[in-house]
């Protein structure tokens, strides 16, 4: 048993992080927030060229030939970086929708009653007829509401990769909270020296690391109950993590200017995918008496 | 990343399973919790069986993964846990192995492995709990002996132990971490009084130990005088990583039983309760994976357990309390009947966020040692 990242997996993660830091840094993030619904097509093609969408296609089909564990590491990074766009939908469509793998075609995907990025997409998987735009809480996730309630069973891979993105958010929220707690001084010392703040940060890490074990294991087993567990833990780590991060930031956390709200809003948006948490809870309850 | 075991590890598992299936049916039933001598004899008997079968030193000499498999399989099979051998096998023994002289290792280690001698722990004091280094039990040198006076608390097995791993203050002038010494105290020495402490679960799980001018030979000191804090830290970090393997396996079994009970009594139809059980399934699946993760880390670092133990303990202790609170919901009014399953476990579970470092202290450890946040004034 070697339940830890291999050298290749570490290198992959570091490579994706570098690419995203270079191509989607703080300025690009601000620009994206200022233009809701706009997708940077150049960036999209660059992501395609880097193999982000074709990651799991076999090499014979022009893909990278990697597996679900590697995809989880990549989605952890896109989640962490707040990368906008239908990354998940396009990744899942690579191999079936022409141009998706290369980042030439932008693919949206109906997920239950919602579609993300419908306006910017070239094509949509699922029935999006009668879709109505809504004023999205998350400035980086434009949303349409689909009429009717044609909600099929959620795709386990989509649920798992969403959990990976949530894990990225949880990890980032912990880093941001710790950075702020070390730098911000009140009463003559860093606020991170106060136990009340320290304990919020510790809980951020505990939730993120527990979720990490669940998400990575689910990527290895691809077992439906493991995936449901990963999802619940990762949603909790991301949503509560972003909220605690906001709390540690105090008044600044409540501003538009600070990055924190973007993580929370994105985590909320992702938590709606795949039938929401009740679906996963029922899967896990049924597993107990199977 | 790989969750599969090597052929050697699988073979170890298969042989162990086979052995457990053979010996466990012949094992005498566990004595009542109040029967201390009976429990001692039972636990030592089990250790002797492990010794004869070649499994006695699995906690000491095996790889973290082998230890994980051992604990997983013994719990699955319903075998006893270390019980009265806890301190000897998991605290005092490893300390002596790491820090003792050759003579000390030869004197104390074989009887622990053979199931001949029981150890208890004299660390905490009434005024030194989370702040263990504030301990005040004094030891002054008198010829070839230390003369020890003071009191210890939360000492499990004190009534039946042969030895006590004892922390004493040998230099009251030094900074608190630097004046502590580690001694092996024979429990039959003059001047020791043991007073059982009754827990909120009704049983006497541990005791207070009063020490009045107890003479301990200088040769029973492990490590240098005043170096006991460092010696102790070796002990405290020893079994992190695999410490809760058996308990996680047990919790997952309890959770399955709870779900079946809920199905039987109709509570399963309550979606709030059902989903709460589903969440607990997620929780304990994740904790099992986190255990495997920490064990893999320990394996990669040459057996040195990391701080991952604190992360695990924080999450696990809370989850286990949540498990028994959910059990109470499944039981309904029967949760007030001490003769029902899980009712005593629910009471016992209240200690998990306190024992071996409260959750508050664990959060300080995580925040300061992993996240690098500053110590408060």
Residue B15 has pLDDT above 90, yes or no: yes
In this prediction, residues B244-255 reach a mean pLDDT of 94
What 3-state DSSP class applies to A203? helix
Q: How far is CA B114 from CA B45, B105, B235, in A?
A: 9, 14, 20
The torsion angles phi and psi of B310, rounded to 5 degrees, stand at -70, -40
In this prediction, residues B27-38 reach a mean pLDDT of 89
What is the pLDDT at residue A153?
Answer: 78
Average pLDDT, chain B: 94
The one catalytic residue in B73, B99, B125, B239 is B239
Examine the domain organization and report whether B22 and B104 are in the same domain. Answer: yes
Closest chain A residue to B281 measured between Cα atoms?
Answer: A284
Chain A CB contacts of B1 below 8 Å: 2-6, 9, 69, 216, 219-220
Task: Summarize pLDDT for B215-241 with one digit per residue, the tens.
Answer: 999 999 999 999 999 998 876 665 556
Q: What is the CATH number of the domain that holds B15?
A: 1.10.540
Residues 154-213 of A with CB under 8 A from B: 174, 178, 181-182, 189-190, 192-195, 197-199, 201-203, 205-206, 209-213
Query: Domain count of chain B?
Result: 3
Examine the domain organization and report whether B278 and B198 are in the same domain. Answer: no
Fold classified for A7-145:
Butyryl-Coa Dehydrogenase, subunit A; domain 1 (1.10.540)
Helices and strands in chain A, H and E counts: 10, 7
Contact B229, B174 (CB under 8 A): no
Cβ separation A1–B274 shorter than 8 A: no
- Assess if residue B197 is contained within a domain: yes
B72 is catalytic: no
Instruction: With a cut of 70, list the residues of chain A below it in pLDDT.
Output: 148-151
Dist. CA B292–CA B267, nearest whole Å: 33
Does A285 reach chain B within 8 Å, measured CB to CB? yes
Dist. CA A14–CA A210, nearest whole Å: 21
Q: What is the CATH number of the domain that holds B165?
A: 2.40.110.10
User: Domain boundaries in chain A?
Assistant: 7-145, 156-288
Task: Summarize pLDDT for B65-120 with one digit per residue, the tens.
Answer: 999 999 999 999 999 988 999 999 989 999 999 999 999 999 999 999 999 999 99
Contacts of B63 (CB under 8 A, 6+ apart): B299, B303
Residues 93-152 of A with CB under 8 A from B: none
How far is A189 from chain B, CA to nearest CA, in Å?
8
What is the pLDDT at residue B301?
Answer: 80
Domain stop point among B114, B131, B158: B114
Class of domain A156-288: mainly alpha
Q: What is the CATH number of the domain that holds B268?
A: 1.20.140.10
Q: Which residues pair with B185 in a beta bridge?
A: B164
Does A226 reach chain B within 8 Å, measured CB to CB? yes
Domain limits at B279? 245-370
Examine the domain organization and report whether B249 and B365 are in the same domain. Answer: yes
How far is B303 from chain A, CA to nearest CA, in Å?
14
Kindly compute the dihedral angle of the four CA atoms of residues A43, A44, A47, A52, in this order, to the nearest 10 degrees.
160
Helix axes A224-248, A156-183, angle to 10 degrees: 20
With bands split at pLDDT 50, 70 and 90, how would you rate the model's confidence at B242?
Answer: confident
Fold equal for A7-145 and A156-288: no
Complex-level ipTM? 0.96
**What does the block give as tokens for B180?**
């502590």
For B237, the enclosing helix (H) or strand (E) is: none
What 3-state DSSP class applies to B200? coil
In this prediction, residues B25-49 reach a mean pLDDT of 92
Task: Summarize pLDDT for B309-329 with one digit per residue, the tens.
Answer: 889 999 999 999 999 999 999
């Amino acid at each position: 048993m070697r339940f830890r990242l291999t050298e290749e997996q570490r290198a992959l993660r570091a490579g994706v992080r570098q690419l995203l830091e270079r191509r989607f840094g703080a300025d690009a993030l601000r620009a994206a927030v200022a233009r809701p619904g706009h997708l940077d097509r150049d960036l999209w093609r660059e992501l395609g060229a880097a193999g982000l969408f074709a990651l799991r296609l076999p090499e014979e089909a022009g893909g990278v030939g990697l597996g679900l564990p590697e995809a989880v590491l990549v989605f952890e990074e896109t989640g962490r970086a707040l990368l906008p766009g239908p990354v998940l939908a396009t990744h899942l469509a690579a191999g079936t929708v022409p141009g998706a793998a290369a980042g030439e075609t932008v693919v949206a995907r109906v997920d239950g009653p919602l579609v993300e990025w419908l306006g910017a997409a070239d094509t949509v998987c699922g029935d999006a007829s009668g879709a109505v735009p809504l004023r999205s809480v998350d400035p980086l996730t434009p949303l349409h509401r689909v009429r009717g309630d044609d909600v099929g069973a959620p795709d386990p891979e989509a649920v798992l990769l969403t959990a990976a993105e949530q894990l990225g958010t949880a990890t980032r929220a912990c880093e941001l909270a710790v950075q702020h707690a070390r730098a911000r001084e009140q009463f003559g010392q860093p606020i991170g020296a106060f136990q009340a703040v320290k304990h919020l940060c510790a809980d951020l890490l505990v939730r993120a690391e527990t979720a990490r074990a669940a998400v990575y294991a689910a990527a290895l087993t691809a077992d439906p109950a493991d995936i449901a567990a990963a999802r619940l833990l990762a949603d909790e780590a991301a949503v509560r993590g972003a909220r605690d991060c906001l709390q540690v930031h105090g008044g600044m956390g409540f501003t538009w200017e600070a990055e924190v709200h973007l993580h929370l809003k994105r985590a909320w948006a992702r938590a709606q995918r795949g039938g929401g948490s009740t679906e996963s809870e029922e899967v896990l309850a049924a597993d107990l008496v199977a | 990343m790989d969750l599969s075991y090597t052929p050697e590890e699988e073979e170890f598992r298969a042989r162990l399973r086979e052995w457990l299936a053979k010996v466990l049916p012949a094992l005498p039933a566990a004595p009542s919790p109040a029967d201390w001598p009976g429990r001692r004899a039972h636990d030592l008997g089990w250790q002797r069986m492990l010794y004869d079968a070649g499994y006695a030193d699995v906690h000491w000499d095996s790889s973290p993964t082998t230890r994980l498999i051992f604990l997983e399989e013994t719990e699955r099979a319903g075998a006893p846990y270390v019980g009265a051998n806890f301190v000897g096998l998991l605290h005092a023994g490893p300390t002596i192995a790491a820090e003792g002289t050759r003579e000390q290792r030869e004197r104390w280690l074989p009887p622990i492995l053979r199931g001949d001698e029981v150890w208890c722990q004299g660390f905490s004091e009434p005024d030194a709990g989370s702040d263990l280094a504030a301990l005040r039990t004094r030891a002054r040198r008198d010829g070839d002996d230390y003369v020890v006076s003071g009191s210890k608390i939360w000492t499990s097995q004190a009534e039946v132990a042969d030895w006590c791993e004892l922390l004493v203050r040998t230099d009251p002038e030094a900074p608190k971490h630097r004046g502590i010494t580690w001694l092996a105290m024979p429990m039959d020495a003059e001047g020791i009084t043991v007073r059982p402490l009754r827990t909120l679960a009704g049983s006497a799980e541990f005791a207070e130990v009063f020490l009045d001018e107890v003479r301990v030979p200088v040769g029973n000191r492990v490590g240098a005088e005043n170096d006991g804090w460092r010696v102790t830290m070796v002990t405290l970090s020893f079994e992190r990583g695999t410490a809760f393997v058996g308990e996680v396996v047990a919790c997952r079994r309890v959770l399955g039983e709870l779900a079946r009970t809920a199905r039987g009594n109709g509570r399963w139809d309550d979606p709030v309760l059902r989903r709460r059980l589903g969440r607990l399934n997620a929780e304990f699946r994740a904790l099992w994976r986190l255990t495997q993760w920490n064990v893999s880390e320990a394996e990669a670092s040459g057996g040195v357990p990391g701080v991952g133990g604190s992360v695990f303990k924080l999450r696990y202790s809370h989850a286990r309390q949540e498990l028994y609170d959910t059990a109470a919901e499944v039981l309904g009014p029967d949760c007030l009947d001490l003769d029902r399953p899980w009712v005593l476990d629910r009471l016992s579970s209240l200690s998990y966020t306190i024992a071996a470092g409260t959750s508050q202290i664990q959060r300080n450890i995580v925040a300061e040692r992993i996240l690098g946040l500053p110590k408060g004034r």
